[in-house]
């Protein structure tokens, strides 16, 4: 399996794990009020960094897709009956994506390339 294919498979596994974790009945995270926003920011930032390594062109589409994914999660949570959607969570998700996009553009432009030749889409 090529590095690029493995990267895609592992990335999609992370997407599924995040979906399951966010739709699971709520657990209280330790920390001050609103500290879950850091988890949202980091989770979506990580996904952006991850997938940006195999998406070379039109990363702005990836930005929009991940923000839409965050919105979908909030809608599904509000429909679940045991979780609730939160605009602040979506803002944290979106901020994580945008900050990570900047990091990928200027700090980590070819992280995956360090492991060998990569086929990008």
Torsion of CA 84, 85, 88, 89, to 10 degrees: 90
Distance CA 91, CA 57 (A): 25
The arithmetic mean of pLDDT across residues 4-10, rounded, is 87
Q: How many residues does the chain have?
A: 121
1-10, 62-71, 72-81, 83-92 — which is least confidently predicted? 1-10
Distance CA 18, CA 111 (A): 22
Higher local confidence (pLDDT), 19 or 120? 19
How confident is residue 118, by pLDDT bands cut at 50, 70 and 90?
Answer: low
Distance CA 73, CA 19 (A): 7
pLDDT, residue 11, reads 93
- Residue pair 93/37 in contact (Cβ under 8 Å)? The answer is no
DSSP 81: S
> Which sign, positive or negative, has the C-alpha torsion 70, 50, 13, 1?
positive
Count Cα atoms within 13 angstroms, Cβ side, for 97.
Answer: 21
pLDDT, residue 44, reads 98
């Amino acid at each position: 399996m090529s590095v690029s294919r493995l990267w895609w498979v592992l990335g999609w596994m992370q997407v599924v794990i995040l979906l399951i974790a966010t739709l699971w009945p709520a657990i209280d995270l330790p920390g001050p009020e609103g500290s879950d926003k850091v988890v949202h920011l980091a989770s979506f930032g990580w996904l952006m960094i991850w997938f940006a390594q195999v998406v070379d062109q039109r990363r702005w589409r990836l930005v929009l897709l991940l923000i839409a994914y965050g919105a979908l999660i909030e809608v599904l949570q509000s429909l679940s009956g045991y979780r609730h959607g939160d605009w602040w969570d979506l803002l944290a998700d979106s901020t994580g994506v945008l900050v990570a996009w900047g990091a990928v553009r200027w700090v980590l432009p070819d992280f995956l390339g360090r492991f060998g030749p990569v086929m990008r889409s």
